[in-house]
Structure formats: C-alpha cells, structure tokens
Amino acid sequence: MKNVRVFFSKTGAGKYISHLDTNRVMLRAIGKSRLDIWHTEGFHQHAYITFALPLSLGFASDCESMDFRLLDDDVDLDEIPAKLNACLPLSIRVYRCAEAKHKAADIDSAAYDVRIEPMNASDISVKELYDKLNGFLDLSEIIVEKKTKKGKKQVDLKGYILDCSTDFSETVLLKLRLPAGATLNINPSLLIGAFEEYCGIELYADVTRIGIYTKEGESFE
C-alpha cells in the first residue's frame, strides 16, 4: 500500500464546485477510473480520500491536492493523472501524482492572485481602483470581524498579510500570501470584503490560489 498525492487545478466551471461536491466528484472519478484504492471498512464502504486544504466556493486554484492509498504498489504513478482526467470534468485537471512529501499539518501559508474590478464598470476606473487599493494596503491597521467557533472576533488583518504586491491592466491585480492551515487560516475574502467597505463600491474579485507553502517556505508537495 502506498500513500500518494495527486495535484490538480480547478478553473472555470470548477470554481463553482464546492469542497463537499469536489469530494463527491473525486470519489466518482476514482470509481470510474477503476484505480484500486483503499476503502474504509464497515457498512458504508467508500474509497478513502483526503484533501490538504479546502478551497472556498468561487475560487480557482492551480495547486489543489488529494491523498489516497494505492493498494497496488506496482502502479506507475505517472499514469494516474491521465487515468483520473478521463473521469473528471474538464474544469478539474490532475497534473501530477507523487508520493506525499509533506503532511497536511505542515501547511502554513497560501498565495493568491486576486483580480479585482468594480461590479459596475461605471463606478470607478481601474486606475482609480488601483490607487485606492494601495491606499488601503498602506493603512496602519485593517480591522475585520472574523467568525470563529467561539463566535465573532475582531482581528487586524494587516499583521497577517505575509506578502503582497499590486498591479493593474484590465483589472487590478493583488498578489497575496496569507496564513493557511488547520491552526490559523485567513481567507482572502476577508481582506477583499474590507477593501470593498473601504471603497464604498461593490466589487467583483476573481480569486486563484496559486501556491501552498510549508513553515519552511517550501512548496507543499
């Protein structure tokens, strides 16, 4: 038995497949691909798969991963992406399969590309929005309400922004790295929501997760 990890992207229509539904789509794909993987025991047996870091509904990603246990040690891992892709919608593409290097608990941060534009183009020009974004990021503190298990809590996002840079072309681009993982997870939506409030304009943000990193700063693999 071998613990393996597949890496996949989720784009286009795939952005609207929730985490729960992604799980379902993956289980069905594994069934259809006839990959021999370990099943849970008991009455409701099902293929056992786990995901390192859930992705919010509406986000695209270049760096999702899923783990499972292959029962047959002789399977060529390089063949697995093609096998799964034949059984997955085009908006989910598996691009790599390897034995897991890190543990999910090693995850420490995630990087995002956030493309921001006004919901109504007439509200503000891209350049103005870009300037506003830079002004916003220069604030000394960015206080938002974060829902936790114990209720709502005020947090200052400013301290959580690990890296960021901005740019603009057709839309405003915000490149961002935020804490991620089981202990502390900051969703970029929080920051976008705060920016929207700061602008007083309804915004649309297209978010792509572009990288997941460990404490040591290595790419999660």
Partner 1 sequence: MYPKEIEKYLLKVQKPGRYVGGELGEVIKDKQDVDVRFAFCFPDTYEIGMSHLGIKILYSLFNEKPYIWCERVFAPWIDMEEQMRAHDIPLYALESGDPLTDFDFIGFTLQYELSYTNILNMLSLGGIPVLSKDRHDLNHIVVAGGPCACNPEPITDFIDIFFLGDGEEVDLEVIELYRDYKRAGKSKEEFLRAAAQISGVYVPALYDVTYHDDGTIAAITPMDGAPATIEKRAIMDMDSCYYPDNFVLPNIEIVHDRAVMEIFRGCIRGCRFCQAGFLYRPVREKSVDCIDRECHALCRNTGYDEVSLSSLSSSDYSQVVPMLKRLNAWAKPEKVSLSLPSLRVDGFTDDILDEIKSVRKSGLTFAPEAGSQRLRDAINKNVFEDELINTCRVAFEGGYTTVKLYFMIGLPTETMDDVAAIAELGRKVVDTYYSVENRPKGKSPRVTVSASSFVPKPFTPFQWEPQDTMPMLREKQQHIRQSITTKKITYNYHDSDTSFLEAVFARGDRKLNKAMLLAHQRGMRFDSWGDCFSLQNWLDVFEACGIDPAFYANRRRSFDEILPWDHLDYGVSKEFLKRECERAYASQTSPNCREACMNCGAKKYGGGVCFEKR
Q: Which residues make up the interface to partner 1 (CB under 8 A)?
A: 12-14, 16-18, 20-21, 24-25, 28-33, 39, 43, 45, 57-58, 87-91, 119, 204, 206
Minimum distance between the CB of residue 14 and partner 1, rounded to whole angstroms? 7
Minimum distance between the CB of residue 91 and partner 1, rounded to whole angstroms? 5
**112, burial (CB in 10 Å: exposed 0-12, middle 13-18, buried 19+):** buried
| CA angle (59 as vertex; 175, 210 as ends), nearest 5 | 40
Minimum distance between the CB of residue 141 and partner 1, rounded to whole angstroms? 27
Minimum distance between the CB of residue 54 and partner 1, rounded to whole angstroms? 16
183: CB partners within 8 A, 6+ apart: none
Minimum distance between the CB of residue 218 and partner 1, rounded to whole angstroms? 32
Amino acid, single-letter form, for residue 63 = C
Minimum distance between the CB of residue 24 and partner 1, rounded to whole angstroms? 7
Long-range contacts of 48-54 (CB under 8 A, 24+ apart): 49/23, 50/104, 51/19, 51/22, 51/23, 52/5, 52/104, 52/107, 52/212, 52/220, 53/104, 53/107, 53/110, 53/180, 53/181, 53/212, 54/19
Is 87 strand, coil or helix? coil
Q: Which is nearer to partner 1, 4 or 88 (CB)?
A: 88
Q: Which is nearer to partner 1, 91 or 185 (CB)?
A: 91
Q: Which is nearer to partner 1, 34 or 152 (CB)?
A: 34
Q: Which candidate, 91, 92, 116, 112, places its Cα nearest to that of 206?
A: 116
Q: Which is nearer to partner 1, 58 or 159 (CB)?
A: 58
| CA angle (211 as vertex; 5, 221 as ends), nearest 5 | 25
Q: Which is nearer to partner 1, 17 or 212 (CB)?
A: 17
Q: Which is nearer to partner 1, 39 or 103 (CB)?
A: 39
